[in-house]
Structure 1
Amino acid sequence: MKHYDYIFAGAGLSALMAVYEIAVSGKFSDKSILLLDADSKKTNDRTWCFWEKPNGKFDAIVSKKWKIAWFAHENFRRILDLNPYQYKMICGLDFYNFVFVEISLHPYIHFINQKVNSILEKNDLVFIETASETFSCNKLFNSIYDPKSALSQQQFPVLQQHFIGWKIKTVQKIFNPELPTFMDFSIPQNGNTRFMYVLPTSENEALLEYTLFSKDLLPEKEYENAIEDYIQKLGISTYEIIEKERGQIPMTSYQFWKKNTKNILNIGSAGGWTKASTGYTFKNTIKKSKALIEFSQHENDFTKFHKTNKFWFYDLLLLDILSDKNHLGSSIFSSMFKSGNPALIFKFLDEETSLYEDLKVILKCPKRLFISALINRIFKNQPVKTIK
């Protein structure tokens, strides 16, 4: 049985980001590290977007940056000035290649293309079994998301950010490559929180994603029909689908970190690293990974890693509302962006604002909804009944 100091079960965004931080830190060369995943990470299976100031650590693989963006509602349209931020896009395969090139420079880091079947903690060691062999380690980082624990409880609502995206190439020059659509809520909501997302990379190429924040997934055809309708609405008559992508990201304030042990740390979606109120993952994962590597240099007990902050509670209130009245998502997000300062909103969503700045953002939202949610959470401790 091969033994390692650290094993990463799953090689998704959080694991690869953490391993990258380990590699570039230069402080773990005396450790043996293994990445285990059934996926070889050789396909362009997803796209990550995030807002960030210029000169970020992953700018070398950013395929497109935008300084402004459209926000649309059925009653208004607004161009958001993102300064001092930029909205950045990274393709999955570019990220995988970037990380694996760095890993290849560090012989103490290994990747094995095998599926994790089981994990067992025993006698201060962790054992990981695949179909063909068993490994042991001192510390395990688990990024394999199991929705059962979150879905089997009633204390915290569980929604999904779910979407299908088409990257298309048109005959006409239809897109402005410097103006993406951040959220377009003018599309039919059909009782949910639904929006279209458009990321143009040239005048005749763009990624269009039909996205929902809701509990239940849709039949595949319903997403694709919505994309086709939107393409027609843009006046596009002839186009080619270059790539397709599909995803679902948990949106919940469920306390995944309570399942951490001294030697097993849940990371990524499995550890509650996804920003619960938006489903955004990339920027949060950068922060969490850096904090994790710093923590691992001086702490030995993974139960001490997580710390809850005020933003966890803000997210919980929003999810309480969307769980009970999902159709109100459009009005909530639109109320923030209609007249709010985009830079301040993005700073708030990055969890970097002061209490005074929090209030400037929160007070743009429908107040009665959040007061009702707050009362139910604090005083009644029961499912929230929101006000229309």
Structure 2
Amino acid sequence: MKYDYIIAGSGCAGLSLLYRMLTAPQLCKKQILVIDKSQKNKNDRTWCFWEKGKGLFEPIVTHQWETLEFLSDDFTRKFDMPTYRYKMIQGIDFYNHVINFAKEFENVSFISESITTIQSENNLAEVITEKAVYKAAYVFNSTNLFHPKMDTSNSLLQHFEGWVIKTKTPVFDATVGRLMDFRLSQQHGTTFMYVLPTSETEALVEYTLFTEKVLEKEEYKAELKSYIQNYLQIEEYEIQHTEFGIIPMSLAKFSRNVPNEKYIINIGTAGGFTKASSGYTFQFVQKHTENIIELLQHGKYPNPALTFRDKMFQWYDRTLLEVILSEKLQGKEIFATMFKKLPIETILAFLGNESTFWEDLKIMGSLPIGPFLTSGIKQL
């Protein structure tokens, strides 16, 4: 059977695109196939992001914060946010929300098979699995089949282990999210903790690093235990849930286009929508998939071209990552300088590719000019 669209990979990007297709009147009756080797039936990740107002997935937001705090060795600061809200969505809630909605459509099929190849043939896109060949007008790919070469010369890994802990007595302020706590050893590289309370007795505590390689499993656990005991001053707690993740932060080019493959369009991390300088993905995926749907509804080629501002933000990302990779400055020093000098909404707008040119200049003016100038020239 020939499909209108095949979505290769049913993670954040694939299911976000599917949900937007099914809520678009011009697209909801198209024949759509979703292929992934695994079924999305586990709470394998948590997405945290900021946005203004209510988003498409507002019904499944677990918790949101109007106040965030940043901690470093020499200062602590709480920021009240007038317009942004920092939000959390659990992976299992997202998967269930989209998949249960999609089950109402007879024109949507899900197949659990391993993808071996994606290619174009006779003006169609083909997905070849271990069992069959599937064809469509377009394939939207979020697998790693077309990832560029990454190594320690051009990339860092953002890796993390998070625990959802529950205490017997109230200890958390659920109105304040701890965005970054840099009061930790930086021996491996940029290292910090998140603490995101969802009630007075429950919080996500996450140990996060930007380094060349991952740690031994026991080291994450030891750091989390130490932080909970020594910084949060909590002795008794239960671990309700654990998660581990690795996100690429790379100078390598993740392209929306697959060379010589017009009918294959990369989305998600494969399409460059994991922000190179921070690892944030969820909101960039939402903006990109929204643009794809807009083009599809108007019968246009569904691969949004990079705007001048897109290219500017990519250059900012490459510059910041180059500064950290070349060890001109530590990540801790960069983030601490920004949070010490600037309003949080200016920083979040910049990190979310939503800042104005004047806000960009404020960010640049807050940072040491020498390291960023040399790295910026190198990344032009």
Work out the CA distance in 2 between the residues paired with 1:132 and 1:344. Answer: 50
Work out the CA distance in 2 between the residues paired with 1:235 and 1:203. Answer: 14
**Pair 1:173-2:166 in alignment:** no
1:237 counterpart SS class: coil
Task: Give the aligned partner of residue 256 of structure 1.
Answer: 254
Q: CA deviation at 1:38?
A: 1.5
Q: CA deviation at 1:300?
A: 5.5
Work out the CA distance in 1 between the residues paired with 2:368 and 2:138. Answer: 45
- Are the equivalent residues in 2 in contact too, given 1:9–1:36 (CA < 8 A)? yes
Task: Give the aligned partner of residue 274 of structure 1.
Answer: 274
Work out the CA distance in 2 between the residues paired with 1:326 and 1:236. Answer: 37
Work out the CA distance in 1 between the residues paired with 2:30 and 2:146. Answer: 32
Task: Give the aligned partner of residue 203 of structure 1.
Answer: 200
Q: Indicate how the Cα distance of structure 1 residues 152 and 205 shifts in structure 2: closer, same or farther if over 3 A, else same.
A: closer
Q: Which one is further off, 229-238 or 27-36?
A: 27-36
- Are the equivalent residues in 2 in contact too, given 1:41–1:96 (CA < 8 A)? yes
Q: Indicate how the Cα distance of structure 1 residues 126 and 375 shifts in structure 2: closer, same or farther if over 3 A, else same.
A: closer
Normalising by the residue count of structure 2, what TM-score does the alignment of the two structures yield? 0.93
Work out the CA distance in 2 between the residues paired with 1:186 and 1:369. Answer: 24
Pick aligned residue for 1:186 from 174, 183, 188: 183
Pick aligned residue for 1:365 from 360, 364, 367: 367
1:309 counterpart SS class: helix
**Pair 1:350-2:352 in alignment:** yes
Work out the CA distance in 2 between the residues paired with 1:147 and 1:248. Answer: 18
- Are the equivalent residues in 1 in contact too, given 2:328–2:371 (CA < 8 A)? no
Q: Which runs of 5+ in 2 are unaligned?
A: none
Letter of the 2:267 partner, please give it. I
Work out the CA distance in 1 between the residues paired with 2:196 and 2:137. Answer: 43
Letter of the 1:209 partner, please give it. E
Q: Which one is further off, 289-298 or 240-249?
A: 289-298
Mapping for residues 54-203 of structure 1, pairs under 5 Å: 54-146=53-145, 149-151=148-150, 157-203=154-200
Q: CA deviation at 1:130?
A: 2.1
- Are the equivalent residues in 2 in contact too, given 1:197–1:210 (CA < 8 A)? yes
2:23 counterpart SS class: helix
Deviating above 6 A after TM superposition, structure 1's stretches of 4 or more consecutive aligned residues are none
- Superposed CA deviations along residues 119-138 of structure 1, whole A, max 9, x for unmatched, are 23222222222222221122
Q: Indicate how the Cα distance of structure 1 residues 129 and 377 shifts in structure 2: closer, same or farther if over 3 A, else same.
A: closer
Letter of the 2:116 partner, please give it. N
- Are the equivalent residues in 2 in contact too, given 1:263–1:302 (CA < 8 A)? no
- Are the equivalent residues in 2 in contact too, given 1:46–1:92 (CA < 8 A)? yes
Task: Give the aligned partner of residue 331 of structure 2.
Answer: 329
Task: Give the aligned partner of residue 297 of structure 2.
Answer: 297
- Are the equivalent residues in 1 in contact too, given 2:150–2:250 (CA < 8 A)? no
Q: CA deviation at 1:254?
A: 2.6
Work out the CA distance in 2 between the residues paired with 1:306 and 1:377. Answer: 17
- Superposed CA deviations along residues 281-333 of structure 1, whole A, max 9, x for unmatched, are 11111100000111233466566644442101000100101111186100001
2:172 counterpart SS class: coil
2:291 counterpart SS class: helix
Work out the CA distance in 2 between the residues paired with 1:73 and 1:152. Answer: 30
Q: Which one is further off, 278-287 or 290-299?
A: 290-299
1:221 counterpart SS class: helix
Q: Indicate how the Cα distance of structure 1 residues 158 and 302 shifts in structure 2: closer, same or farther if over 3 A, else same.
A: farther
Identical-residue share of aligned pairs (%): 39
Task: Give the aligned partner of residue 236 of structure 1.
Answer: 234
1:174 counterpart SS class: coil
Letter of the 2:311 partner, please give it. N
- Are the equivalent residues in 2 in contact too, given 1:164–1:210 (CA < 8 A)? yes
Q: Which one is further off, 29-38 or 62-71?
A: 29-38
Normalising by the residue count of structure 1, what TM-score does the alignment of the two structures yield? 0.91
Q: Indicate how the Cα distance of structure 1 residues 326 and 92 shifts in structure 2: closer, same or farther if over 3 A, else same.
A: farther
Q: CA deviation at 1:101?
A: 2.5
Work out the CA distance in 2 between the residues paired with 1:70 and 1:247. Answer: 23
Q: Indicate how the Cα distance of structure 1 residues 361 and 66 shifts in structure 2: closer, same or farther if over 3 A, else same.
A: same
1:150 counterpart SS class: coil
2:330 counterpart SS class: helix
1:262 counterpart SS class: strand
Work out the CA distance in 2 between the residues paired with 1:171 and 1:125. Answer: 58
Q: CA deviation at 1:235?
A: 1.4
Q: CA deviation at 1:344?
A: 1.3
Work out the CA distance in 2 between the residues paired with 1:153 and 1:126. Answer: 34
- Are the equivalent residues in 2 in contact too, given 1:191–1:327 (CA < 8 A)? no
Q: Which one is further off, 168-177 or 7-16?
A: 168-177
- Are the equivalent residues in 2 in contact too, given 1:150–1:158 (CA < 8 A)? no
Work out the CA distance in 2 between the residues paired with 1:56 and 1:297. Answer: 20
- Are the equivalent residues in 2 in contact too, given 1:253–1:312 (CA < 8 A)? no
Q: CA deviation at 1:186?
A: 0.8
Work out the CA distance in 2 between the residues paired with 1:151 and 1:253. Answer: 8
Work out the CA distance in 2 between the residues paired with 1:376 and 1:40. Answer: 43
- Are the equivalent residues in 2 in contact too, given 1:193–1:327 (CA < 8 A)? no
Letter of the 1:361 partner, please give it. I
Q: Which runs of 5+ in 1 are unaligned?
A: 379-388
Q: CA deviation at 1:30?
A: 4.6
Task: Give the aligned partner of residue 212 of structure 2.
Answer: 215
- Please, what is the CA RMSD of the aligned residues? 1.9
Task: Give the aligned partner of residue 374 of structure 1.
Answer: 376
**Pair 1:44-2:40 in alignment:** no
Q: CA deviation at 1:262?
A: 0.9
